[in-house]
Chains A and B, each alone.
Chain A
């Protein structure tokens, strides 16, 4: 089945450690996105990528880094520079270009920093 997978579902890390969240899609979508969700808030864009080996900062990129070495994969690293990393992280993908390029989401990774 086509879809977006994120792993792991739950992740616990000690303060000061970098951690990498996985996102894979087999929808043959060109664009991939990372969002952060905090309780009671909407989704906020961290990074996005429209093509392999290229990505742009979103609204809250500080303390995060990404790579896009393959079309199917867009891992997110939460670095020790991120002041408040505990959150629910969502990966999404969409076809581009064109108007009909809705974003579809993965199941999310809940990161807790102890």
Chain B
């Protein structure tokens, strides 16, 4: 089946630093989604990308849909303590008449105050 390679697996940064993470795949997706998950909670949608080349911002978060439709990145600027958590990318494709998501393994973000 389809696989997403998300990197890095974990990040340890100082408060105020910028963060960058990305996902790549051998498959083409028609939508890219970025989620954040806090411990013991469900993922929360951060940004959705619908067109190849699209660059979208949500506050301090910026994400891009790669031109090839096989990759996406997420940047967080000026990190703050509440940014701590696990970030997941997800590629959406149409399979057997249904929209299905394929998830990356997640990037665990830890911030040192």
Contacts and interface: CB of A to CB of B under 8 A. Distances in A.
Interface of A: 4, 6, 31, 33, 40-45, 48, 50, 56, 58-59, 88, 90, 92, 94, 96-97, 99-108, 110
Interface string B3-43: 01010000000000000000000000011010100001111
A104 B44 CA distance: 7
Contacts of B43: 43, 90, 105
Interface of B: 1, 4, 6, 30-31, 33, 35, 40-45, 48, 50, 88, 90, 96-101, 103-106
5 contacts: A41-B105, A43-B43, A88-B40, A103-B45, A104-B45
Nearest to B88: A42
Contact of B50 (A42, A59, A90, A100): A100
Nearest to A88: B40
Contacts of A4: 42
A108 to B, nearest CB: 5
B101 A107 contact: no
Contacts of A104: 45
Contacts of A100: 48, 50
B98 A102 contact: no
Contact of A94 (B97, B99, B103, B106): B99
Contact of A99 (B31, B33, B98, B106): B31
A102 B103 contact: no
A58 B1 CA distance: 11
A44 B3 CA distance: 11
